[in-house]
Amino acid sequence: MHKRDFNGRVVLVTGAASGIGRLLCLRFARAGARIAALDIDEEGMRSLKREIEAGGGGVFTCRCDISDNQQCRQSVELVIGNCGGIDLLINNAGLSHRSLFDQTRVEVLEKILRINLLGAVYCTSAAIESLIKRRGMIVGISSVAGFAPLLGRTGYSAAKHGLAGFLKTLRTELKPRGVKVLLVYPTHVQTGAGKNALGGDGMPATREWHPAGRVLTAEQAADRIYDAAGKEKRTLLLGGNARLVYLINMFLPRLYERLMVRANRHLLEDDAGWP
At 142-195, the pLDDT tens digits run 999 999 999 999 999 999 999 999 999 999 999 999 999 999 999 878 766 566
Could you tell me which residues are beta bridge partners of residue 62?
38
The string of pLDDT tens digits covering residues 123-134 is 999 999 999 999
d(CA 146, CA 150): 9
d(CA 145, CA 153): 8
Strands annotated E in 82-233:
88-91, 137-141, 180-186, 189-190, 216-217
- For 10-267, CATH gives 3.40.50.720
Report, as an integer, the average pLDDT of 244-248. 95
Confirm if 140 and 116 have CB atoms less than 8 A apart: no
Residue type for position 17:
A
Confirm if 67 and 55 have CB atoms less than 8 A apart: no
Give catalytic residue positions.
156
d(CA 55, CA 65): 28
d(CA 247, CA 250): 5
**Where would I find the H helices in 134-241?**
154-174, 193-196, 218-230
pLDDT at 257 over 70: yes
The string of pLDDT tens digits covering residues 192-240 is 656 689 999 999 987 666 665 677 888 999 999 999 999 999 999 998 7
Q: Which helix (H) or strand (E) holds 60?
A: strand 59-63
DSSP label at 192?
Answer: S
The residue among 256 and 2 whose pLDDT is bigger is 256
Domain boundaries, the chain: 10-267
- For 257, other C-beta atoms within 10 Å of its C-beta total 15
Q: Is the pTM of this model over 0.85?
A: yes
Confirm if 90 and 65 have CB atoms less than 8 A apart: no
